Amino acid sequence: MTGDFLALLQQSPFPSVVGDGHNPMPLEATTVFAFHCADGVIIGGDHRATAGHTIFSDRTEKILELDSHSLMAIAGVPAMAFEMARTLQTAFEFYRRSQLQAMSLAGKVRALSRLLRENLPATLQGVGAVSPVFAGVESDDPGARPVIYFYDPLGAHFEAAAYAGSGSGTTTIKSVLHYLETWGHPRPGEMPLDQAVVLANRLLMTAAEFDAATGGVHAEQQEFATIKLLSTRGIRTISAQEQARFWKDAQP
């Protein structure tokens, strides 16, 4: 007994759903992250979805808006993650309409935790694991600071001081962000939007050099990451055209 969660999945009584060589592995979305910048929180992801060692798609959108002041970035099985997002969107809107006010940030964080706990049987069977990164801000507090949370499979949530990530490529990304937060000039938390967007794309391109499941970002070919900015003003999607302009301006 090693205590390795992924190793235990291979001993599942449902071998066909964890990939036994005869049945396909479940579809998975990979590599999402979030970090603080001078304008708020940048949350981004690549476009690749895989099934085992097969590239299923390089056009997957992994950054899901839950309401005007919260986002969920997904790594894991998209079908489960999309259903969680739809459930949260409905719950948040119902609360807003019935209570005549937005749900608190703490309430939103706990709502996602509850869905992850309820999803544990699918996670243990290897067909429904979801590992999200959540970013939100109190909508009724103009002085509030956006926050980033990451989760474990049981639904426990942890606030990230500067950055968080999930998926197969995030070991590389978090290593780079740690270096930049410690010794960078400027640090990511001090970067204006244009520099932060360029950094986000470079992080994914770096991760793709070491992780085959990370991909779909090729700045030189005008193919950029999905990137959104969360601030006290709400959510802003950084378009591919805007990212291309930032990228061009950053080149020596």
Residue 161 near residue 167 (C-beta atoms within 8 A): no
Active site residue 30: yes
Give the side-chain half-sphere CA count within 13 A for 155: 15
Both ends of the chain: CA-CA distance in Å? 53
SS3 179: helix
From the list 2, 30, 123, 206, the catalytic residue is 30
245 sits in which H/E element:
helix 240-250
What is the C-alpha R_g of the chain?
A: 18
Rounded Cα distance between 46 and 248, Å, is 20
SS3 223: strand
Residue 8 near residue 145 (C-beta atoms within 8 A): no
Which residues on adjacent β-strands are paired with residue 187? none
SS3 237: strand
Distance (Å) of CA 107 to CA 41, 92, 114: 20, 9, 11
Rounded Cα distance between 72 and 63, Å, is 6
Rounded Cα distance between 48 and 215, Å, is 5
Residues designated as active site: 30
